[in-house]
Structure 1
Amino acid sequence: MILDNRGLEPPQPMIRTLAALDELAEGQTLTILNDRRPMFLFEQLDERGYLYLTEQQNDGSYRVTISRKAG
């Protein structure tokens, strides 16, 4: 699943991302696209037990792929 949060002002990208994670089925990943690096989201992901990979894109936006830790 891909969630495009570009063009939204904080805290909307984080709210949308956390809501999408609540709907994520076991084994699925969520990819988000953000205008800026989602620093406060990382804290939430760590607390909830998610793994994530962050990649800065050529246009300066960020792509974050999120999945649950195994076990």
Structure 2
Amino acid sequence: MILDNRGLEPPQPMMRTLAALAKLNQGETLTIINDRRPMFLYEQLDELGYRHETFAREDGSFEIRITKG
């Protein structure tokens, strides 16, 4: 599943992401695309036990792959 959060003002990207993550089953992955690195989201993901990887995209946005652990 891909969630495109580009063009949204904080805290909308984080709220949308957390809502989508709540629907995932163990081992499933959500990919989000954000205009900036979601620094506050990383803290939440770590606390909730999600694994995540961040990739810079050519257009200046960031792709974050989040797996429910």
Q: TM-score range by the shorter chain?
A: over 0.9
How high is the TM-score relative to the length of structure 2? 0.96
Runs (5+) with no aligned partner, structure 1: none
Instruction: Give the structure 2 partner of residue 45 of structure 1.
Output: 45
The amino acid that maps onto 2:32 is I
**Number of positions where the alignment pairs a residue of Structure 1 with one of Structure 2:** 69
Mapping of 1:1-71 within 5 angstroms?
1-69=1-69
Partners of 2:32 and 2:21 lie apart in 1 by: 11
SS of structure 1 residue aligned to 2:17: helix
Runs of 4 or more off by more than 2 Å in structure 1? none
RMSD: 0.7
Tell me the alpha carbon deviations over residues 2-60 of structure 1, each in whole angstroms, 9 at most, x when there is no partner: 00000100000000000000011222100000000100000000000000000010111
**Is the CA contact 2:24–2:68 (under 8 Å) kept in the aligned structure 1?**
no
Identity level (%): 67
Extract unaligned runs of 5+ from structure 2. Answer: none
